[in-house]
Amino acid sequence: MKLKRHQELQGKFANLVKSITVPIENSSDVASAIFSLFMGIGFTIYLFNSWYIAKDLTELSSPLYLTVVCFMSFNFTMRPVTSMLLGSKLSNHSMILQFLATFLILNVIENDWTSIIDAILSNQSLSIMIFAGVILAYAINYLMPIRVMYSNLGECRMAEAKLVKTQSSPFPTKRDINTASIHEAGHALVFAAAEGIPDSFKVTINDKSRLDSTLGQVSFARPGHLLNTGPELEFEILLKLGGLCAERTVFGEHADGGGSDIERYQSVARHYLNSGFSNLPYFNEPQTLLETEVNNQSINELKDAYTTKLVEFMDSNKILLVELSELLKEKKVLRKEDLMPFFGRATIPEWMPAVNFSE
């Protein structure tokens, strides 16, 4: 009896954790935010103590400068290392802004900075170690996206769909771009069935090196509803599977870059089945291995059913799908006004839910 109660509590806790939404897309952003928070707190405490103890402002100059240098050096070194361990990458814009912020802060502080730098550089062994460590960290971050903590880079909200790079090279090939354009066009074409599309809707593709490893993305601002209807969740399922089904329609098979779509499909499918929107059997809190297997089978059956329908939908709009992918490769970013003419030409089957995302 106690064991059963313990299992029930474990199941409830697991469901609670799964229900928590993360407002940040990328694991590296989470790590960077945590670092920035603690650095800011520590720096604020230090300034307060220094200000309270110092007899005049001149006594603050040297320790303030050294503190900024230490914090920025630590951040420069640890951010790429942390991103590497999280299987993510830093943005070029983020790095540039960080360097500029450091430069401005250090120039605002009035101090004999040359003597301080000379004192730091006088310890050659320490200087060489720090310099080599920073270079090594960034080299690894750029060239070797090692995934220690996460096997997939494509963290995203339900309102988005991404195709991610899985190869070590940060530069996509022509085949990668062709695959990504079809994949994202497939995601976008699902919205042809929607009754209302927000103005923020856009499709992007990356044909150059990008450090978060994303080859393409469909994104838009969702209405802030706390509750979802059955058709809305069904539409989310179609959105998650649309890219892979488009690849299968055009190429006969799909690539491995859309693995994150499968993970997000499973998450939406669990919520869909758990909410009673399907006749397939599903246990909200499985207590036995058999119940877990039943849940997995229902998730797979749901996926197979929608995949079959989506492949038929993509096949009936294959010419439109290819045209859309070619325009995406040409313009790199397609917005609502670019996409609506394609949506108007699409053949929409009756089974596709007509969801309104503009209200």
Do 135 and 236 fall into the same domain?
Answer: no
Task: Look up the pTM and report it.
Answer: 0.55
Least confident of 9-23, 75-89, 313-327: 9-23
Query: Is 80 within a domain?
Result: yes
Q: Is residue 14 part of a domain?
A: no
Same domain, 77 and 139: yes
Q: Is residue 221 domain-shared with residue 283, that is, in the same domain? A: yes
Domain boundary residue, one of 115, 143, 171: 143
Q: Dump pLDDT digits (tens) for 100-127.
A: 666 655 555 555 555 555 655 565 665 6
Look at residue 58 and tell me if it is in a domain. yes
Do residues 224 and 321 share a domain? Answer: yes
Report yes or no on 8 lying in a domain: no
> What strands, in cross-sheet order, belong to the sheet with 214-219?
161-164, 214-219, 202-205, 333-335
Q: What is the pLDDT of residues 67-87, one digit of tens each?
A: 666 666 666 666 665 655 555
Q: Look up residue 60 and give its two tokens.
A: 């603050």
Is there a single domain that holds both residue 98 and residue 166? no
3 state DSSP class of 285: coil
8 A C-beta contact, residue 345 and residue 319: no
One domain, residues 111 and 69: yes
50 and 193 in one domain? no
Look up residue 141 and give its two tokens: 């971050």
Per the CB < 8 A criterion, the answer to whether 83 and 29 are in contact is no
Within a domain: 4: no
129 and 227, same domain (yes or no): no
Domain around 43: 21-143
pLDDT band at 280 (very low <50, low <70, confident <90, very high): very high
In a domain, 13, yes or no: no
Q: Do 186 and 100 have their domain in common?
A: no
- By the 10 Å C-beta count (0-12 exposed, 13-18 middle, 19+ buried), 145 is classed as buried
Q: How many domains does the chain divide into?
A: 2
Do 219 and 309 share a structural domain?
A: yes
Contact 237, 265 (CB under 8 A): yes
| CATH code of the domain in which 191 resides | 1.20.58.760
Out of 143, 170, 195, a domain closes at 143
Strand, coil or helix: 161: strand
135 and 174 share a domain?
A: no
pLDDT at 23: 40
156 within domain boundaries = no
What DSSP letter does each residue of 304-342 carry, written as one string? Answer: HHHHHHHHHHHHHTHHHHHHHHHHHHHHSEEEHHHHHHH
On whether both 106 and 52 belong to a single domain, the answer is yes
- Residue 9 domain-assigned (yes or no): no
